[in-house]
Structure 1
Amino acid sequence: RGRRTVNGKIQLRVPKDVIKAKCAPFLRRGKPAHLPQLMSCTPFDIISTYGAQYRGVVQYYLPAGDVYRLDRLKGVMLTSMLKTLAARHRSRVTAMANKYKTVIRTPSGPRRCFEAKVEREGRKPLIARFGGIPLTRQRKEVINDLP
């Protein structure tokens, strides 16, 4: 279907097929499931893997007019990540959510995200994060490839 364009200009949008394709690896029978290949990894590695994949897709589509559609991807990936952590720790999903959730300060205000830290002697701790990126259109977004 054709869509109206603003002033007749081409506009970036998030295709539904892209959302389905990006959600597919984290779904089993249409519902979010844990990833067995990450069961042997540390919580830091699990959160950093999910966070990097999510951040890559979101940062690409931030200039899109309908970036809010990626909320479906966020929900699927978040549930899959928490289920993977729960399966690894042999615990419940809510317990993992409470254990790893935190609030960070961003230029657009405080954001809830999930993070794991690895403490190191004499150096800054390593931090892996999932979430914390607002799904609002940013017209002049500079892509940041750092975690």
Structure 2
Amino acid sequence: RGRRTVNGKIQLRVPKDVIKAKCAPFLRRGKPAHLPQLMSCTPFDIISTYGAQYRGVVQYYLPAGDVYRLDRLKGVMLTSMLKTLAARHRSGVTAMANKYKTVIRTPSGPRRCFEAKVEREGRKPLIARFGGIPLTRQRKAVINDLP
């Protein structure tokens, strides 16, 4: 049970330990919780911090055959982000979800994500996003980790 058949092929997979380790900073007593160190940040900074961390892990494991397992990480990080925003605004999680939720168009179709915009005079607005990445395997994904 739970073992792959021996076929001589090497496959990239997402280890369960990685998912647990990446979820751990956002959990308290096994449940998603807010991050007190981000309470003094702006909503733009909070969403961009969560989005960058999530995007980094997902993009690294996109060539994996079981990238869908990162859905657990997405749920934990999303709930933690919304709780952090709610604590900062002294509001509820549902209110924050409704406020920052949006739909973006991607090559794989429309995706729900959460974004915050910072309007600027005479320039394009700054946009911070969390989510919007399909958790489907990309066989030809290129990992660009060089500076």
TM-score by length of 2: 0.94
SS at match of 2:113: strand
2: CA distance, partners of 1:6 / 1:121: 60
Deviation at 1:71, TM superposition (A): 0.3
Deviation at 1:145, TM superposition (A): 8.0
Change (3 A) 1:146 1:8: closer
Percent identity (aligned)? 99
Deviation at 1:103, TM superposition (A): 0.1
SS at match of 1:112: strand
2: CA distance, partners of 1:3 / 1:63: 20
Deviation at 1:146, TM superposition (A): 13
Deviation at 1:7, TM superposition (A): 5.1
Report how many residues are paired: 147
Deviation at 1:4, TM superposition (A): 2.6
Tell which deviates more after alignment, 14-23 or 134-143: 134-143
TM-score by length of 1: 0.94
5+ residue gaps, structure 2: none
Change (3 A) 1:120 1:5: farther
**Cα RMSD (Å) of the superposition?**
2.3
Deviation at 1:114, TM superposition (A): 0.1
2: CA distance, partners of 1:122 / 1:43: 22
Tell which deviates more after alignment, 9-18 or 136-145: 136-145
SS at match of 1:122: coil
Contact 1:5 1:11 in 2 (8 A): no
Deviation at 1:86, TM superposition (A): 0.1
2: CA distance, partners of 1:73 / 1:9: 27
5+ residue gaps, structure 1: none
Tell which deviates more after alignment, 90-99 or 133-142: 133-142
Deviation at 1:144, TM superposition (A): 6.8
Change (3 A) 1:145 1:116: farther
